[in-house]
Amino acid sequence: MQEAEALHRIALLVGDGWHAIAHPDPDTVPEAAYFTAYSADFELMQKSYLNENAYGPHGDTLTVVASGGADDAATNKYTVDRALTYLRQRVRVLVENQINDGRMFERLLTTIDADLVKKFHDDYPSVEWAHAGGKDEMEHLVANEVANAKARRIRPRLPVVCDSDSKFPGHQNGSTNRLRRVCTKATVGLFVLRKRSIENYLHDRVLSAYALFAPDVRAAVSSIRSLTAEQRDHYPIKNGFRASLSPEEVVLYKGAQFLAKLSRSTIMRMWLMGVIRRLARRDSKAHVPSSLRQAPKLPGLFAYYIGLDSLKPNMDDLRERKCEAEVIELARTIRSLL
């Protein structure tokens, strides 16, 4: 492909809102052969340059070098043809569930950066949610994306977002740590939620509305709302407890309604068994006390929430769940590759 034609195709991507021109000022090179062949691109690039330098720069930066130069994916420097290959890539935000996670993150992000969310729904979107299905699958998909990009001698445009699955403050989930190592090795950005899962970000208005909608869950909703902020950040809202509590969880949920129903001897036995299983490196899914199986759970809550636009979060809801800064960071993570 001729260099001028490749530059024109990049200009079309700029016109579609995918990218912006940060340097040089087109006014300084109006006599370039490229602008002679594609005169309409001059005004488009000039407008993009002025907007970017007035409100930016921000996001990913790529340098286009003259034909005959060397491509360098590590520093994002490419010849024109290679730059076009890179810039044609959509940013693919890899999540565990494209529908549930994508819609939840869009609702959170709309309160902070509505323009970013709109980019997911353009006629020709520059960013999309990509479905993984779980953290094990995420590892394979990251490896495949990196291999494909390497074969084309470019970097992948792939931020990864996942649940922490953290059972208590400071808990490091094994699958999350494996994914972190894979992303670090591949130099792919990873954003791990600070709370246990996306259900833990649902605000009180959602719980109250769900209790009115489904009276049979009112007791469970009341119990979950009675948790402290730290307890609620790590509580398995969707499925309840499927395993006996670890010693750290026993400490975390001290004073919780569902734990108060257990006898002191049962709690002590759980604590000791948790220590023994950890020392023996054994799974703790067995021997869940029957009373603990009755701990509150709301398996239908998220589906109910996603179906109602009236329950979209506002800034007060984000502050209530203490996740305003985290949502801002998520927006920056995605924008860093745009």
* Average pLDDT per consecutive 10 residues, the chain (338 residues; last block may be shorter): 82 85 79 78 86 75 79 84 89 95 96 96 94 93 93 92 96 94 94 96 96 93 94 95 82 80 60 58 54 82 91 95 96 91
Tell me if 293 sits within 8 A of 239, measured CB to CB.
no
Q: How far apart are the C-alpha atoms of 251 and 259, rounded to whole Å?
A: 11
Longest pairwise C-alpha distance within the chain: 85
For residue 272, what pLDDT is reported? 65
For residue 287, what pLDDT is reported? 53
Residue spans of alpha helices (H) in the chain: 3-15, 33-37, 40-55, 80-87, 100-110, 114-119, 135-151, 174-186, 204-213, 218-225, 229-234, 247-252, 257-260, 264-280, 290-293, 301-306, 315-320, 324-335
For residue 224, what pLDDT is reported? 94
For residue 290, what pLDDT is reported? 62
Which residues make Cβ contacts (< 8 Å) with residue 214, sequence separation at least 6? 300, 304
> Pick from 191, 190, 225: which is nearest to 211 by CA?
225
For residue 286, what pLDDT is reported? 47
Domains of the chain as residue ranges with CATH: 3-87 (no CATH), 91-198+309-335 (3.40.50), 203-306 (no CATH)
* Beta pairing, strands 127-131 & 77-79: unpaired
Which residues make Cβ contacts (< 8 Å) with residue 120, sequence separation at least 6? 102, 106, 127, 128, 129
For residue 17, what pLDDT is reported? 84
Assigned token pair, 33: 């052969």
Q: How far apart are the C-alpha atoms of 262 and 292, rounded to whole Å?
A: 8
Q: How far apart are the C-alpha atoms of 149 and 324, rounded to whole Å?
A: 34
For residue 35, what pLDDT is reported? 78
Q: How far apart are the C-alpha atoms of 189 and 335, rounded to whole Å?
A: 12
For residue 299, what pLDDT is reported? 93
Q: How far apart are the C-alpha atoms of 329 and 112, rounded to whole Å?
A: 10
Q: Other C-beta atoms within 10 Å of 226: how many?
A: 14
